[in-house]
Amino acid sequence: MLSPGDRVIAAVSGGPDSVCLLDVLHELAPAVDATLAGLAHLNHNLRGEASRDDERFVAALAQRYGLEFYREEANLSEGNLEESARQARRAFFARLIRIGAATRIATGHTLDDQAETVLFRLLRGSGPGGLSGILPITAEGLIRPLLEVTRADVEEHLRSKGLSWRQDATNLDARFSRNRLRQELLPLLRREWNPRISEALARYAEIAHEEERWWEAEIGRVAANVLEHADSGIAFEAKSIAELPKAMARRLIRHAFRQVRCAEAPPDFEHVERVLDLAEGHPGEGKLEFDGLEVIRSFDRLRLQRAGGQIHTADTPVSIPGRYPFGNALVYFELADALREPLDCVSLKLQGLGELPPLELRSWRVGDRYHPVGKSRDYTLHELFQRAQVPSWQRHVWPIVAIGSRIVWVRKFGVASEFAAESGTGPVLRIWEENVPSG
């Protein structure tokens, strides 16, 4: 949890667990050449003067231990206060790490907290990932040194050291589901089913966590071959998911969700199943929307993205020579005397045009049509997109070069026949792209 040189801040609410955590870190951090760099306290402002008393108590602890005191106040939103408070704490801790105040934030979660979390998530229908419970160490830099210690052990330690603590009355408030689980359900299970129910649930969390660690490495390996990151979203072939074993497919979809949504809550089982159904269905168009996320199917490809997260491009007048970003690609323009390498460049003849007319780099517009070189007739771009199975999310960043209303070049479909250069003719306008996205 701590390595030499680490700076750890203890998250202290004033309750017994966090006071015990502070005392333990004060004694043990120097043993691994780490530094206890301060205390962090978030005032949730839920209990009026009692909340202010908690803050004063923690400030006095910081002074007693000779530590820096970091504090913030939370303005919790209406609705799920427990979740809102949790998000506020995580944001506070992330800021402390970001500004360099600490490399680790320690929280006072105990074995009893772990048991409550596992049972709570089990009752809500969580999968194996959720049943891993509270992680000992997180990617964000949180550590839980007391996770194998019971609340009884904590209070025994505090009494043996003569340390006092604060009691939070909200921990007894039956309006909060976690409190009802702690006060009613777990004692019932302990009496009627298993007197060591907390240890059993914590052991299950440890088993699930170790299995999840193996799965995470395996999913990372598969994801590197299946998932394509493009334009702030993730795309993949529908059959690449549909043909996987269900256990792997579900985890891969959850992995994609986490990649797009960063550290936000994982998707519900129902959401994962709906994405699987979309991948296993017939090729075509389809769209799912939930929790600020969109899942789009176009032909045999799917894309996950944040709602409204697509890149938008502006129409751009072209100067020659020039280089222009378009979506995730760069489009280059230069004049040349005649056709020359590289052969994958598009070359437009300029003979008969007189002075080079104004060129515009733009995206697709409904109704666009032109006559590609080598084709027998005009085509609408929509028809060309359909024939080439260009996914719908790529079309709005598909580069087109035009002179007024006349299209002269389109990515993949080539130059218009009336502008196509022939060997030995010149001068020519050369157009090519770099970093063309595949997703």
For the cut 80, the answer to whether the pLDDT of residue 355 exceeds it is no
Q: Say if residue 121 is exposed, middle or buried (CB neighbours under 10 Å; 0-12, 13-18, 19+).
A: middle
Q: What is the pLDDT of residues 269-287, one digit of tens each?
A: 888 899 999 998 887 788 8
Residues spanned by CATH 3.30.465.60 within the chain?
227-306
pLDDT confidence band for 437 (50 / 70 / 90): low
For the cut 60, the answer to whether the pLDDT of residue 352 exceeds it is no
For every residue of 129-192, DSSP letters joined together read TGGG-S-SB-TTSEE-TTTTS-HHHHHHHHHHHT------GGGG-TTSHHHHIIIIIHHHHHHH
Query: Reading across the β-sheet that carries 414-415, which strands appear in turn?
Result: 316-318, 359-362, 400-403, 406-410, 414-415
Q: Stretch 209-235: mean pLDDT, rounded?
A: 87
Both tokens of 376, joined, read 């027998």
Highest mean pLDDT among 283-292, 321-330, 358-367: 358-367
331: Cβ contacts below 8 Å, ≥ 6 apart: 323, 324, 325, 361, 399, 431, 432, 433
Q: Are 168 and 15 in contact (CB under 8 A)?
A: yes
Report the chain's mean pLDDT, rounded to a whole number: 86
Provide the pLDDT for residue 194: 94
| Number of other CB atoms surrounding residue 53 within 10 Å | 13
pTM over 0.85: no
* DSSP state at residue 20: H
Q: Which residue has the higher pLDDT, 153 or 353?
A: 153
pLDDT confidence band for 82 (50 / 70 / 90): confident
Architecture of domain 7-201: 3-Layer(aba) Sandwich (3.40)
Provide the pLDDT for residue 51: 85
Residues spanned by CATH 3.40.50.620 within the chain?
7-201
* DSSP state at residue 266: P
pLDDT confidence band for 212 (50 / 70 / 90): confident
* DSSP state at residue 419: G
| Number of other CB atoms surrounding residue 214 within 10 Å | 9
What does residue 112 show for φ and ψ, rounded to 5 degrees? -65, -40
Both tokens of 288, joined, read 């799912």
What pairs with residue 330 in β-bridges?
325, 434
Q: Say if residue 69 is exposed, middle or buried (CB neighbours under 10 Å; 0-12, 13-18, 19+).
A: middle
Provide the pLDDT for residue 344: 42
Q: Are 261 and 233 in contact (CB under 8 A)?
A: no
Q: Worst-scoring range by mean pLDDT, 170-174, 221-225, 286-290, 410-414?
A: 170-174
Q: Are 339 and 382 in contact (CB under 8 A)?
A: no
DSSP reduced 3-state for 263: coil
Q: Stretch 226-250: mean pLDDT, rounded?
A: 88
For the cut 50, the answer to whether the pLDDT of residue 104 exceeds it is yes
pLDDT confidence band for 141 (50 / 70 / 90): very high
**227-306, what's its fold?**
3.30.465
For the cut 50, the answer to whether the pLDDT of residue 342 exceeds it is no
For the cut 90, the answer to whether the pLDDT of residue 334 exceeds it is no
For the cut 50, the answer to whether the pLDDT of residue 108 exceeds it is yes
